[in-house]
Structure 1
Amino acid sequence: MMNDRLRFLPAVRGVLLAGLVVSLTWAAEPPVLPLWPEGVPGLKPEAGPEKDDGQGRYSAIHYPSLVVHQPEAASRTGTAVIYAAGGGYQRVAVGRNGGEITRWLNSLGVTVFVLKYRHADYGHPAPLQDALRAVRLVRSRAAEWGVLPGRIGMLGGSAGGHLSACAGSLFDAPEGKTGAALDSVSARPDFLVLIFPVITMEEPHVHAPSRRALLGEQPMAEVKERLSVERWVTRATSPTFLVHSAEDSVVVVENSLLYYQAMRRAGAPIEMHLYPKGPHGSGMAPALGPTSEWPRHCESWMRFNGWLPARPAS
C-alpha cells in the first residue's frame, strides 16, 4: 500500500505543477480588446504582427488594441484609466506586464486599459483616432468591466501625454471619427494625468523627434498648429493633473507651462506639480526626493475630485 502511494505522488505533483503553469500563463495574459473589429481605418497593405522587444516596448502596431488590467475584485472602484505610454510616436513603451504605472493604478482599485496605438508608420490622424476610439469603446462597454461611464480618465507620459492631452481637447474632432456608429459615444476623458508631456508642435519648445514621427519632416504650419494642444484648450477640456521637472532636457518644461497657462486662460481645472529634479522618463523612480511624491499627490487629487472614493476617516 505504501509503495502504491509513493508511486502515486509523482503523478499528483505533475498535475499540480501543470495546473500552476496554466494558472500563471492565464494570469500573464490579460484580455485584449481590438479597437477596430470592423477593420482598421487606413490599414497599410504591409500590415503584420506588432513587434515586442521583450521589455514591453511595442512598435509596428497596425492593429491597435486595449490590454485590460483589472485590480482584485474586492478593491475595484468603478474608475478606469486608459494608459497611453510614451515613446516619441515611434514605439509604445509600456513596460513589462503593463508597467509600474499600471501596477500603481491597480493598487488604487483602478481598472487600466493599456492603449497600443498606431504611431510613426501611420502619422496623424491615426493616433488620435485610436485614442478617441479607446475612450468610446471603454465607455460603451463600461458595465462589462465594472466601470462607471463617468469615471473614465486617460494617463499619458511624453508623447503619450501629447496624445492624452489631444483627447482631452479634441475629443469631438472630425478627424477622430470614422463614420462608425460608435462615433456617437462621447470620447471626452473625464480627467487627464499628464506626466512630462509633449504639448506643442511649434518652435521653440517642440520635441522635434515626436513631431517628425507624427507629422513628417516638414509639416505645414496649419498642421503644426492643429496638433499644438495649447491652442485648443477650452473650458470643456478635461480636468488635468500635470507633472513635469525643470531638469527634463528631452521634452522641455515649457511644454507643460504652455498647457497650464492655456488651461488657466480657459478656466479649465488643472493642478500642476513642477519639480526641480527628475530626468525625462523617470516615471515612478523612488530616489528623486519630492519628485517621487507625485503619485501620492495624484491619488489625493483623484480622491478630492470624486474619481476615487474618499479614504475612510481614521
Structure 2
Amino acid sequence: MKMKFPAVVLLAFGALAVPSGRGAERPAEWIQLAPPAPGDTETERFENERVSNVRHPSLGVFRSTLGNAPRPAVVLCPGGGYSILAIVKEGYEVARWFNALGIDAYVLKYRLREFGYPAPLQDAALAIRFLRASAAERGIDPAKIGILGFSAGGHTAAMATTLYASPDALTGGALDKVSARPDFSVLAYPVVTMSDPLTHNGSRANLLGDSPAPETIAKLSLERQVTADTPPVFLFHSADDEAVPVENSLHFALAMARHDRPFALHVVPSAPHGIGMRPGFGLASAWPSALAAWLADRGLVAEHRAPGTQAQKEEKGHE
C-alpha cells in the first residue's frame, strides 16, 4: 500500500530570527499552576539565563498587542536535558517572537530531574488545561492553544502532544476534566525517543533514572505514541545535530505520515544544537520564517504578518 505523506518539507530562505542578548524582556506576570509540595523548603535557582531546581509549575505571561481577542496562545517549554531550563534563549526571546505574530505566549517552568516522570507531562498538560479553562478571561481562543518545546523541552511538548489523554497526565485537581490536547505542536531539535541508540542519554537519565524499565522506555519513545488523533506538528532539526540525532525528528515525522496526520518537517544541513531562534547560523536561522508560514497556513497567524508569504510580498510591493 502506498503511504500518504500529508507533509511539507520546508527549506526557507527568508529569516525572521530573534536577536540574542541578556536584556530579554521578562514576563509581565507569573501564574502559579500549583503550590509547592507540603514541607518542601527547596528554592528555585536562576543563573546565567537558566533556571534549575523547579519546585512547582508556573507560567510566564507574554501577551501580544496585535489583533483582536480572542487570540491563539502557545505554551513554551525550554530545553535543558531535564536538568535546567534555558529560559531566556528558548523561552522569553521566543515568546516575543510569537507576540509579533499576534499570538499570546506562556513560558512554562516545568519540574525537572528532582521529580522525574511524570512531573513534566503533568505540568505541560496542566498548563494547557489552565489556559483552556480560563480562555474567556484571558482573551484566548480555546480552539487555538498549542505547545512548543526545544530539545528536552521538545520531549515534554511531544509528551503533551501524544499522551494528553494518559492517566499519567492527570494531577487529581479540578482541571483534570478539561481537555489537555494541544491544537498544534512545534518540536525544535526535540528529544523524541528514549530508546538506544538515538536517545539523548542525559535527558533519559534525568527523567527516568539510570535503569528505566523497558516498558517505560517504550511508552516514552514518543514516535510510538502517535495516533489518528495526534494534533498537527511542525518539526525542526539540523542533519548534523551531535547532541540529539536528527532521527528523533525523522521517526516522529514518519509516524505522523503512517497515521495520515498533518505535519511539516524542516531539516537543515548543519547547525549546532540549541540555537533557539537566534540569528547567525546561516540557513538554520531561517527556520522561524518557515514556522510562521506554517502557522499562517493553519489559520493561526494573519497571513500578512508571516514572512515569506505571498500576501506579505504583495504588501511590500505596494509600499
- TM-score between both structures, scaled by the size of structure 2: 0.84
Q: Aligned with 1:271: secondary structure? A: strand
CA contact (8 A) 1:76 1:110 kept: no
Question: Hey, what's the Cα distance between the residues in 2 that align with 1:98 and 1:234?
Answer: 28
Residue 68 (structure 1) shift = 0.5
Correspondence for 1:62 among 55, 62, 66: 55
Residue 51 (structure 1) shift = 0.5
Residue 76 (structure 1) shift = 6.3
AA at the equivalent of 1:152: I
Question: Hey, what's the Cα distance between the residues in 2 that align with 1:115 and 1:242?
Answer: 20
Deviations 1:43-66 (A, max 9, x none): 37444221101x331111112100
CA distance change for structure 1 residues 210 and 96 in 2, over 3 Å: closer, same or farther? closer
Spell out the pairing of 1:89-238 with structure 2 (5 A cutoff).
89-95=82-88, 98-238=91-231
AA at the equivalent of 1:33: I
Percent of residue pairs bearing the same amino acid type = 43
**Who is 2:31 aligned against?**
33
AA at the equivalent of 1:49: T
**Who is 1:274 aligned against?**
267
Deviations 1:220-259 (A, max 9, x none): 1011111110110011111001000012100011111110
Q: Aligned with 2:207: secondary structure? A: helix
Question: Hey, what's the Cα distance between the residues in 2 that align with 1:176 and 1:130?
Answer: 8
CA contact (8 A) 1:168 1:188 kept: yes
Residue 273 (structure 1) shift = 0.6
Residue 72 (structure 1) shift = 2.1
Deviations 1:186-227 (A, max 9, x none): 101100111100000011101000000000011110111111
Residues 1:48 and 2:42 aligned together: yes
Deviations 1:249-282 (A, max 9, x none): 0001111111011111111111001110111001
Question: Hey, what's the Cα distance between the residues in 2 that align with 1:210 and 1:237?
Answer: 23
AA at the equivalent of 1:78: R
CA contact (8 A) 1:79 1:147 kept: yes
Residue 289 (structure 1) shift = 2.3
Deviations 1:265-310 (A, max 9, x none): 1111110011101110012232222211111111111011111223
Aligned length: 283
Question: Hey, what's the Cα distance between the residues in 2 that align with 1:97 and 1:214?
Answer: 20
**Who is 1:259 aligned against?**
252
Question: Hey, what's the Cα distance between the residues in 1 that align with 2:62 and 2:69?
Answer: 11
Question: Which is helix-richer, 1 or 2?
Answer: 1
Question: Hey, what's the Cα distance between the residues in 2 that align with 1:29 and 1:255?
Answer: 31
Question: Hey, what's the Cα distance between the residues in 2 that align with 1:28 and 1:125?
Answer: 28
CA contact (8 A) 1:69 1:98 kept: no
Question: Which has more radius of gyration?
Answer: 1
Gaps of 5+ in 1: 1-26
AA at the equivalent of 1:121: E
Residue 71 (structure 1) shift = 1.9
CA contact (8 A) 2:76 2:91 kept: no
**Who is 1:246 aligned against?**
239
Q: Segments of 4+ in structure 1 off by > 4 A?
A: 73-77
Question: Hey, what's the Cα distance between the residues in 2 that align with 1:169 and 1:240?
Answer: 11
**Who is 2:19 aligned against?**
none
Gaps of 5+ in 2: 1-24, 305-310
Q: Which has the higher contact order (CA 8 A, sep 6+)?
A: 2
Q: Aligned with 1:175: secondary structure? A: helix
Residue 29 (structure 1) shift = 5.2
